[in-house]
Each structure stands twice: as C-alpha cells, then as structure tokens.
C-alpha cells in the first residue's frame, strides 16, 4: 500500500511537470472529430491513439510526424533531370535534413492528453486521422501496396520551397498535400485560416491525400517510375493526357474520402469563404456532380454558370487546365458513386477493393501506351475495364449504366466489352 501511494505520488508529480511516461499507445487524447451522424459538424472528443509509439515526438507504429519539413520543388526537378536515380533515392533527397522533432504542448489531465494550443490540437487530430485512415485503407480498401504496407512520413507545418538556399516557401497556405517526391504528406500552417475546418483537421482531406499515395504506388511506383519521371519532367503546359491523369487521381481520392467519411460533401466544411466556389464542383452529391458528363466538360453543356466558370472546357489543355482537373475528378468520382448504387456500404465493401486492384493494371496500360507514343498517354477505358472485370455482377451492371450515361464520346463505341 505504501509503495502504491509512493508510485502514484511519483507519477502524479512527473505528470504535473509534463514528464510522465504515458507516451505510447493506447493513449487517450482529445481531438477534433466530426459528429456521429453529422459529418459536417465538428466538436472536441476523446479518442484513443492505438498505435502511438511516442505521442510527444509524433511517432506511431506506421508513420512519423516531423515538424517544419521543407521540400524544394525546383531542386527536386533538377535532381530528377540530371541524376539517374530511382524512387527511393528521390525520396531520400527530398527528405533533406528530415525536419525537426515536433514539440506538442500536451497537458495530462489525469485521464487523457489535451492540447494546450491550436497547433497541438491540429497535431493530435492529424495523428488520430492518419491512424483511422490507415486502418481504412488496410482493412476496407485492402490496399497491399507500399502506400499502406510501408511506413509513412507526415511533415507537420511543412512547406514547399523553390530551391535550396531560397528559404521563402512558395506554398504554405492552409492545405494538405501528398508529394510523390517525398513519398509523404505535408500539412501547411496558415495565419489566415478561413472560416472553415482546417484542411489537416478534415478526415475527408486526410483520406483524399492518403489515396494519392496509393495511386502513385499502384499506377507508377517502382515498376513504372520512369514513366512518371518522363511525365513530370516534360516541358510545357499540362497536356490533355496530363489533365486526364490528374483528374483520375483526384476523382479516386475524392471517392475514397467520401467512402471513408460516409459523406459526399466531405470538402464542404473546409471549402468556405474564398474557396466556396470550389465546393460547387467537389460536392459529389451536388448539382454539378449530378449533371457532369464527359461531353459536358468538353463543351460546357449542362453545367451551371458557376461550374462552367471553373470547369468549362476542362479537357482543353492550357495554363488554366491546372485548376480544372478537379472537375474531371468529380466526373470520375460521381461515376463510381453511381456504380455503387449511391450507397456507402456497397461503395466501401464491393467497389473500393476491386478498384484498388484495378489500379496496377491501369498503370501497366498507361506505361505501355506512353512508351509507344513517347509521351504520356492515359487510356482511361483501361481503368474502367480493369474495374469491371473485378466487381460483382450487380455492381458491374450499375457501373456500366453510369459509364454509358456519363462517358459518351470518351472511347470508341463497344470498347468496354465487359458491359455487353
């Protein structure tokens, strides 16, 4: 009894000076979560970090969170152009000094850690979301690529700079991204967060970014790294194939995010104020998504004025195309949502796992056609065919209907033999 009292007294003292050893999981923490049944509403809640190795230093079993990581884009482009490096060497170069150990301001209240400031609340929320999303991709999507099976790196409050020796970051507004250069994610710090939920605290955004890693490894990865490299290094504005590839990437990220959150409007809590227009064409249940077709994106036909401003003639390559592949992404995502019968359970259980398997076959097709053409080619029908071969007959039927309704003109009639 005396020893127990001494033990409690010692632990209590250590915790009072923030030195107690409750660092590794399971660790209870307070984070920002979407309300159950109300994914648009967010509140504080206590969750358990199941895989924390050291919550004070951002270390989990499957990922590390590092602070202040800066990736220099032009330096990486120059490195890719001049050096014959493979993917892992590229990731090592991008990592540079590897950022800094995060120093969250945690307070142990006797039962859980609570954040002492906004930055720490964002850090804890991000830690929790990556745990949840990782489990989703492992258990629900059943991804077996490097993306899910190998450790990941998250740069908390990182930045994308122009080059070594130029410290001013070129991208540091509130956002979250996956960078293939780094094979990791960056979240950005912002002094001007909008009235919405910050990107890194939105579960849909984290799932969206996670799928980008899956897409990169399934479609390119080590096997077709040279295809990716040639495309990244190609000069000039984004070509139609480039828009299409990025559109597919964004669309698949959106549908996985929707499946994870079980909400078609997972971006809406974040896309407010200056970004509100984007919510018009990112909401998979919205007016634009309901009307969008391949032809519509080419001609503006059937699109609302607001959507046309952003998405009209999306497939025309040009400088503006950089912003328009999200519109194409909505077409991809909405097609898959139609194919799932507009239900989340079939989407998660019957469509996303075969879609994941179809990606590597799509990657093979992209690599083969690009090699033949000497430039990027994106045979979009190869993705759909690979998927159609892998889904249940009931899903195949609804997916074929959706493809027929939305993708007229995208490929030669009868090209999808699986739909006959």
Partner 1 sequence: MMRGARLICGGLACVGPLLWVTSARATEPGDAGTRTGNQAAVEVLVEVAATPSVAGAGTDLDVAYGVRGFWPLGGAPVGFWGVDVAALAAFAREGGERIAVSESLLFLEPRLLWGAALPLGVAEWSLYLFLGAHLGGGVRTYYSDAEPQIRALARWGGRLGVGHGVRFGDGWLRMELGGGIRDGRPEVLSTLGLGWWY
Assess 44 for contact with partner 1 (CB under 8 A): yes
Asked whether position 94 contacts partner 1 by CB under 8 A, the answer is: no
Determine which residue in the list 194, 226, 299, 398 makes contact with partner 1, applying CB under 8 A. Answer: 194
On the question of a cis peptide bond just before residue 70, with omega within 30 degrees of 0, the verdict is: no
Examine residue 201 and tell whether it contacts partner 1 (CB under 8 A): yes
Q: Applying CB under 8 A, which of residues 9, 10, 100, 373 lies at the interface with partner 1?
A: 100
Among the listed ranges 7-15, 38-46, 214-222, 238-246, the one in contact with partner 1 (CB under 8 A) is: 38-46
Site for partner 1 contains 108 (CB under 8 A): no
**Binding residue (CB under 8 A) for partner 1 from 113, 136, 156, 215:** 156
Nearest to 21 by CA among 135, 108, 93, 87: 108
For residue 169, the cross-strand partners are 161
Strands (E), 132-272: 152-156, 159-163, 166-171, 176-179, 184-187
Of 75, 120, 172, 211, which one interacts with partner 1 (CB under 8 A)? 120
Q: What is the DSSP letter of 2?
A: H
Report the residue number, 108 or 337, with the smaller CB distance to partner 1.
Answer: 108
> Phi and psi at residue 48, in whole multiples of 5°?
-110, 125
Tell me how far, at minimum, the Cβ of 65 lies from partner 1, in Å.
9
CB atoms within 10 A of CB 65: 26
184 sits near partner 1 (criterion: CB under 8 A): no
> For residues 116 and 404, which CB has a smaller minimum distance to partner 1 in the complex?
116
Q: Report the alpha-carbon distance of residue 196 to residue 175 in Å, rounded.
A: 12
Which of 27, 32, 180, 289 touches partner 1 by CB under 8 A? 32
Output 126 or 331, the one with its CB closest to partner 1: 126
How far is CA 160 from each of CA 20, 75, 166, 188, rounded to the nearest angstrom?
A: 36, 11, 11, 9
Alpha-helical runs (H) found in 340-377? 344-346, 352-373
118 binds partner 1 (CB under 8 A): yes
Residue 198 touches partner 1, criterion: CB under 8 A: yes
**Contacting residue, 68, 169, 341, 353, with partner 1 by CB under 8 A:** 68
Report the alpha-carbon distance of residue 186 to residue 160 in Å, rounded: 9
Instruction: Report how far residue 359's alpha carbon sits from residue 355's, in angstroms, rounded to the nearest whole number.
Output: 6
Measured from the CB atom, is 190 or 304 closer to partner 1? 190
Report the interface residues with partner 1, using CB under 8 A. Answer: 17-18, 32, 35, 41-44, 66-68, 99-105, 114-121, 123, 156-157, 189, 193-198, 201
């Amino acid at each position: 009894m005396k020893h127990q009292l001494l033990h409690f007294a010692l632990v209590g003292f250590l915790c009072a000076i923030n030195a107690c050893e409750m660092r590794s999981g399971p660790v209870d923490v307070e984070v920002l979560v979407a309300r159950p049944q109300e994914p648009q509403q967010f509140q504080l809640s206590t969750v358990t970090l199941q895989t924390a190795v050291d919550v004070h230093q951002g270390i989990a079993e499957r990922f590390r969170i590092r602070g202040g990581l800066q990736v220099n884009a032009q330096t990486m482009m120059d490195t890719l152009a001049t050096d014959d490096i493979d993917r892992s060497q590229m990731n090592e170069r991008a990592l540079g000094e590897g950022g800094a150990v995060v120093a969250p301001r945690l307070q142990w209240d006797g039962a859980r850690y609570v954040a002492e400031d906004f930055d720490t609340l964002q850090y804890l929320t991000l830690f929790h979301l990556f745990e949840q999303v990782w489990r989703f991709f492992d258990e629900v999507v059943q991804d077996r690529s490097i993306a899910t099976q190998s450790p990941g790196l998250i740069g908390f409050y990182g930045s994308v700079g122009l080059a070594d020796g130029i410290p001013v970051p070129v991208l540091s507004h509130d956002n979250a991204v996956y960078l293939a250069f780094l094979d990791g994610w960056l979240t950005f710090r912002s002094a001007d967060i909008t009235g919405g939920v910050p990107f890194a605290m939105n579960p849909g955004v984290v799932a969206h970014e996670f799928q980008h890693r899956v897409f990169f490894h399934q479609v390119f990865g080590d096997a077709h790294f040279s295809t990716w490299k040639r495309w990244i290094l190609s000069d000039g504005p984004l070509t139609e194939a480039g828009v299409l590839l990025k559109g597919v990437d964004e669309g698949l990220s959106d549908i996985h995010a929707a499946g994870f959150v079980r909400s078609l409007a997972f971006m809406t809590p974040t896309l407010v104020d200056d970004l509100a227009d984007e919510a018009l064409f990112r909401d998979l249940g919205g007016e634009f998504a309901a009307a969008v077709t391949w032809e519509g994106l080419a001609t503006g036909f059937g699109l609302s004025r607001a959507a046309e401003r952003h998405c009209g003639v999306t497939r025309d390559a040009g400088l503006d195309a950089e912003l328009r592949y999200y519109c194409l992404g909505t077409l991809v995502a909405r097609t898959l949502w139609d194919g799932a019968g507009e239900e989340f359970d079939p989407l998660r259980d019957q469509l996303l796992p075969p879609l994941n398997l179809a990606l590597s076959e799509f990657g093979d097709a992209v690599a083969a056609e690009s090699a033949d053409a000497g430039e990027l080619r994106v045979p979009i029908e190869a993705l759909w065919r690979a998927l159609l071969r892998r889904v249940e007959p009931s899903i195949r039927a609804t997916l074929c209907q959706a493809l027929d309704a939305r993708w007229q003109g995208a490929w030669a009639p009868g090209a999808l033999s699986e739909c006959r």
